[in-house]
Structure 1
Amino acid sequence: MCLTAELFYVRDGQINEYALNFVVPVPATITDLHFTWQSLTRKPLPYTLHVDVTDQQNAMHPPTVNISNEGFVPTEPQTWRVDLPCTHTVAAEVDIIIFLNVSTGSSSSALRFRRKKICLKEAPRPAVRVDSVPHAPTSADIFYAGAGCAGGALLIAAVAAAACRARARKLRRARSDEQDAHAFLPDSSCKSAASYTSYRRPTSLPAAAAEEKARDLQQRIAELTIQRCRVRLRSVAMEGTFGRVYRGTYADEDAREQEVLVKTVAEHASQVQVSLLLQEGCMLYGLHHERVLSVLGVSIEDQTAPFLLYPWNSTWRNLKQFLLACRGVTVGGAAGGAPPPPPLTTQHVVRMALHALDGLLYLHSQHVLHKDIAARNCIVDENLRVMIADNALSRDLFPADYHCLGDNENRPIKWLALEALTKRQFSPAADVWALGVLLWELTTLAHQPYAEVDPFEVAAYLRDGYRLQQPANCPDELFAVMAYCWAMSPDDRPTLPQLQIFLRDFHTQLTRFV
């Protein structure tokens, strides 16, 4: 049986900051947003309305609203509309914030609804109607707003269609490549102190294909939602300033338990940190590949920190912690509690690099850029098989790997390609650069790249032609691969298929001598 799910922004006078921090993508086939509101008091409530747009490429005409910017929330349900017309001159994503302030006399409520409008260079096919509130699978959000003076109830609910229970259960269990539902979470243009590097569809990849992958955020959360009572936390795997990673178990509707890894935050975490956990934790949702670890489920309950669940095995470990253990560095809380691993050979390193490359190649085939490829964001099992994971909580769990250059953005400076570092230009070639740094991490057993270089000097250092030094005991052929990945021009860097061919051939040569 299919169920309808509601995501409340405000309920019983309590604002749900988690929901307000979501950035909801608006597909290219949706040209307007419809809102239904009502004052639950016996008198109209004054409001002010404003729509703010960040559009540097002129991808969208100025939005229009069919109600006045100031007025009163009606006492009867009424619907108003925000039109978001694209120019169709360029393919881009436009950041939109709808500001709504409602006054109850003694106080006022200021709400911000964040959207990411997807505009294509060519108008989408007119087969999809967008002149009215669409049906749930492709709906713009419908909001219900009301206010009460005695109870202080300002209710704003975003109504979206949840998946059928059986389909949601199937999605949570699926680990095959046959699933074709892919979620994209565009990155924010906000440069706040807690801003983050997530992934977005690259403009160099087909915009139409990327558009097909865009999914309604509320539907995605509904598909992932699980009951908190089915989750049991057993032990702490990793711990940061506010981030917590637990080992635990999850019991599905048939009471079958499976091991899981749970990412969450402490009670003192800010709402922005909670929002980043959810957004970055869902970045690989719907992507199924043996070299990619994607989220299994999400538990969001009122007044508690959200849980993000990942399929887990007691023999799996964080790759960076594993590499540190290989060179005898004591690391607390390594997931799985495995004994010290045996020494790695060059053959091991190349095979692990191929695993990470296969995972990244799959992400790019789905028009997804990772933007934070590094050992800290990978998982390795007892057979040295590597999987790429998301970067949720990485800034908190590995603070030495991220730096702020005075722009209030904490970024993996020493893993970024020059154009990504200086111009924030991300592409498959930028991921290739980071893959080269990951290969360097594998050969050095997780030494810090550019440890002697101040983060503020990294851009100049790279611009002058300096790169990471060849690690000890690293074959010249393998270091040459890294050096090619760090070419100044993105066009001069090898593609992932080219790297795959070379590393496979090199691995074959190594195997012949063993």
Structure 2
Amino acid sequence: MKWLILLLLVPSCLAHLNVYLSVAEVMRLLGLTAELFYVRDGQINVYALNFVVPVPATINELHFTWQSLTRKPLPYTLSAEVKSNSEAMHPPTFNISNEGYVPTEPQTWRVDLPCMRTIAAEVDLTISLNVSTGSSSTTLHFRRKKICLKEAIRPAVRVDSVPHAPTSADIFYAGSGCAGGIILIAAIAAAACRARARKLRRARSDEQDAHAFLPDSSCKSAASYTSYRRPTSLPAVAAEERARDLQQRIAELTIQRCRVRLRSVAMEGTFGRVYRGTYADEEAREQEVLVKTVAEHASQVQVSLLLQEGCMLYGLHHERVLSVLGVSIEDQTAPFLLYPWDAGWRNMKLFLLACRGVTIGGAPGGAPPPPLTTQHVVRMALHALDGLLYLHSQHVLHKDIAARNCIVDENLRVMIADNALSRDLFPADYHCLGDNENRPIKWLALEALTKRQFSPAADVWALGVLLWELTTLAHQPYAEVDPFEVAAYLRDGYRLQQPANCPDELFAVMAYCWAMSPDDRPTLPQLQIFLRDFHTQLTRFV
């Protein structure tokens, strides 16, 4: 009853007030061209107030815009409180007084967040605005999570107090040093030229070998895009451990073909097929499996991609990751990749499409699943995030996080899978931009699309697109944008639109994942905290 009374009192108290973040402020914080209203014509946006907005380390001040819609200013009081890690940040300050009147014209005020730079921490703070109409008052709480970084210690610079006049010895040594430097640079350049020549010769040799069975115009079948990549900054020990040859992995995973029994086709593309079947181990115990293989007319490149992409998750064990169970390779036959399977598991993109009555690629029809709630969507996103967090802890970049590369069971539990055959089974999701390389253009971060720079932040971008897929039931992202124009579209600041019935705070998480700079995007642990908090808020009202 108290909660209902509060809802009735709020509009009467704030009936003539606007409080919002301007387009410029939302772009600066979230990389989105839109206004974010907390109060519009007296109506409070509860979702926006409940969302904890992350503030990157590069941003040290916040801007709010307000306006009294009455003929006279409204009295206010303003305060800010640091909730955690107060030793990482000085008390916030305002550029306006803590008490005064909300002006009748739109006015922007600032909150400064001065980090001490002595420790690195995430600081939780709340900005409280109390507005009074004389007979009643209402307090609005804006919650923020400021990231403070520890300032790097700069080496001391020694400055001689007495100027030193150059001598003939100094000139001689300086000239010798310059000559030695020139010789060193020339030697490095010569070595680089020799290395580049060897690389070009190897590339030409590989290209000739590839063209022996692959026509130049065969973009779709010759996709060389591989989903998983190890970060280049791996420690030497970890790099050596992960650099095992593909043939060694296949040898360790090899199973006998006679133990595999194919039952029915689950999905089929131009060059690949996915079967449901069973596998009997050495003790004759059978288990359900999913078998990925290529068609008889598939090229050697497609066979190599199937094995390379399917085996990259080998040795990884996590409840949110679907790893390969075995590999079967026999002469004159297509290779089999086996995955553990359950009758209730489905490809997540096909599941989402079924939720709105759409079937593709030979997927089974039937009655659509029950409607997904926002609570379901957030929980599924958390499962995918947990799996991706595990992959990153194992120094694995996925590079193709999307609904088509996830599995969901009948209890809506999600697992991340590889992208073997994804380009063939979901051809509309991949495009070739004239570079003979099929890539998931509309899921890639801007730096991955234009510079082929992949990092954990690029996976975070794709995770934001996956969250958008969940809320739209697998609608095609940027459906109206030509693949050749996507890079310019993103560079100009455009992003995916907010889906219908998507809460503002959930869309704010997506938009934060699509920040232009990789450094401004949230980390996976930060996203985990935001989504868990939001899921907790949702469960309180269900």
TM-score bracket for the superposition, by shorter chain length: 0.5 to 0.7
Say which SS state the counterpart of residue 8 (structure 1) adopts.
strand
Alignment deviations for residues 426-452 of structure 1 (CA, whole Å, 9 cap, x no partner): 000000000000000000000000000
**1:245 and 2:288 aligned:** no
Instruction: Report the alpha carbon displacement of residue 267 of structure 1 after superposing the two structures with TM.
Output: 0.5
1:424 equivalent in structure 2: 452
Instruction: Report the alpha carbon displacement of residue 333 of structure 1 after superposing the two structures with TM.
Output: 3.9
Instruction: Report the alpha carbon displacement of residue 218 of structure 1 after superposing the two structures with TM.
Output: 2.6
Say which SS state the counterpart of residue 109 (structure 2) adopts.
strand
Instruction: Report the alpha carbon displacement of residue 14 of structure 1 after superposing the two structures with TM.
Output: 76
Instruction: Report the alpha carbon displacement of residue 474 of structure 1 after superposing the two structures with TM.
Output: 0.2
Instruction: Report the alpha carbon displacement of residue 200 of structure 1 after superposing the two structures with TM.
Output: 1.7
Choose 11-20 or 380-389, whichever is displaced more.
11-20
Cα pair 2:448 2:454 within 8 Å, conserved: yes
Say which SS state the counterpart of residue 168 (structure 1) adopts.
helix
Choose 171-180 or 140-149, whichever is displaced more.
140-149
Instruction: Report the alpha carbon displacement of residue 38 of structure 1 after superposing the two structures with TM.
Output: 87
1:294 equivalent in structure 2: 323
Cα pair 2:449 2:487 within 8 Å, conserved: yes
Choose 463-472 or 93-102, whichever is displaced more.
93-102
Instruction: Report the alpha carbon displacement of residue 201 of structure 1 after superposing the two structures with TM.
Output: 1.3
Alignment deviations for residues 248-302 of structure 1 (CA, whole Å, 9 cap, x no partner): 0000000000000000011111111111111111111111100000100000000
1:496 equivalent in structure 2: 524
Cα distance, 1:291–1:189 mapped onto 2, change above 3 Å: farther
Say which SS state the counterpart of residue 458 (structure 2) adopts.
helix
Cα distance, 1:341–1:489 mapped onto 2, change above 3 Å: same
In 1: Cα distance, 2:318 partner to 2:196 partner: 19
Cα pair 2:269 2:361 within 8 Å, conserved: no
- TM-score w.r.t. the length of structure 1 is 0.62
Choose 368-377 or 38-47, whichever is displaced more.
38-47
In 1: Cα distance, 2:93 partner to 2:512 partner: 49
Instruction: Report the alpha carbon displacement of residue 373 of structure 1 after superposing the two structures with TM.
Output: 0.2
Cα distance, 1:376–1:452 mapped onto 2, change above 3 Å: same
Choose 155-164 or 287-296, whichever is displaced more.
155-164
In 1: Cα distance, 2:130 partner to 2:182 partner: 14
Alignment deviations for residues 150-197 of structure 1 (CA, whole Å, 9 cap, x no partner): 999999999999999999999999999999999999999999943123
Alignment deviations for residues 128-154 of structure 1 (CA, whole Å, 9 cap, x no partner): 999999999999999999999999999
- TM-score w.r.t. the length of structure 2 is 0.59
Instruction: Report the alpha carbon displacement of residue 53 of structure 1 after superposing the two structures with TM.
Output: 56
Structure with bigger helix share is 2
In 1: Cα distance, 2:274 partner to 2:48 partner: 22
Cα pair 2:119 2:149 within 8 Å, conserved: yes
2:56 equivalent in structure 1: 27
In 1: Cα distance, 2:77 partner to 2:124 partner: 20
Cα distance, 1:371–1:179 mapped onto 2, change above 3 Å: farther
Cα distance, 1:188–1:225 mapped onto 2, change above 3 Å: farther
Instruction: Report the alpha carbon displacement of residue 363 of structure 1 after superposing the two structures with TM.
Output: 0.0
> Considering only aligned residues, what root-mean-square deviation do their CA atoms show, in Å?
26.3
Instruction: Report the alpha carbon displacement of residue 211 of structure 1 after superposing the two structures with TM.
Output: 2.8
In 1: Cα distance, 2:506 partner to 2:138 partner: 59
Cα pair 1:8 1:158 within 8 Å, conserved: no
Instruction: Report the alpha carbon displacement of residue 87 of structure 1 after superposing the two structures with TM.
Output: 41
In 2: Cα distance, 1:161 partner to 1:413 partner: 38
Instruction: Report the alpha carbon displacement of residue 242 of structure 1 after superposing the two structures with TM.
Output: 1.0
Say which SS state the counterpart of residue 264 (structure 2) adopts.
strand
> Superposed, which structure 2 residues align to 1:78-157 within 5 Å?
none
2:541 equivalent in structure 1: 513
Cα distance, 1:487–1:121 mapped onto 2, change above 3 Å: closer
Cα pair 1:239 1:397 within 8 Å, conserved: yes
Cα pair 2:222 2:301 within 8 Å, conserved: no
Instruction: Report the alpha carbon displacement of residue 220 of structure 1 after superposing the two structures with TM.
Output: 1.2
Cα pair 2:276 2:291 within 8 Å, conserved: yes
Cα pair 1:7 1:157 within 8 Å, conserved: no
Choose 355-364 or 78-87, whichever is displaced more.
78-87
In 2: Cα distance, 1:488 partner to 1:52 partner: 30
Cα pair 2:83 2:123 within 8 Å, conserved: yes
Alignment deviations for residues 375-411 of structure 1 (CA, whole Å, 9 cap, x no partner): 0000000000000000000000000000000111100
Cα distance, 1:448–1:189 mapped onto 2, change above 3 Å: closer
Alignment deviations for residues 29-56 of structure 1 (CA, whole Å, 9 cap, x no partner): 9999999999999999999999999999
Cα distance, 1:54–1:439 mapped onto 2, change above 3 Å: closer
Cα pair 1:177 1:288 within 8 Å, conserved: no
Instruction: Report the structure number with the largest CA radius of gyration.
Output: 2
In 1: Cα distance, 2:299 partner to 2:41 partner: 21
In 1: Cα distance, 2:269 partner to 2:454 partner: 28
Cα pair 1:350 1:503 within 8 Å, conserved: yes
Alignment deviations for residues 307-355 of structure 1 (CA, whole Å, 9 cap, x no partner): 00000001000000000000111335437978x2100000000000000
Choose 460-469 or 85-94, whichever is displaced more.
85-94
Cα distance, 1:22–1:312 mapped onto 2, change above 3 Å: farther
Gaps of 5+ in 2: 1-31
> Superposed, which structure 2 residues align to 1:179-218 within 5 Å?
193-218=222-247
In 2: Cα distance, 1:76 partner to 1:155 partner: 66
In 1: Cα distance, 2:40 partner to 2:239 partner: 35
Cα distance, 1:36–1:400 mapped onto 2, change above 3 Å: closer
Cα pair 1:25 1:186 within 8 Å, conserved: no
In 1: Cα distance, 2:58 partner to 2:377 partner: 45
In 1: Cα distance, 2:172 partner to 2:46 partner: 16
Cα pair 1:6 1:158 within 8 Å, conserved: no
Cα distance, 1:479–1:395 mapped onto 2, change above 3 Å: same
Cα distance, 1:43–1:198 mapped onto 2, change above 3 Å: farther
1:351 equivalent in structure 2: 379
Instruction: Report the alpha carbon displacement of residue 485 of structure 1 after superposing the two structures with TM.
Output: 0.2
In 2: Cα distance, 1:284 partner to 1:472 partner: 36
Cα distance, 1:227–1:51 mapped onto 2, change above 3 Å: farther
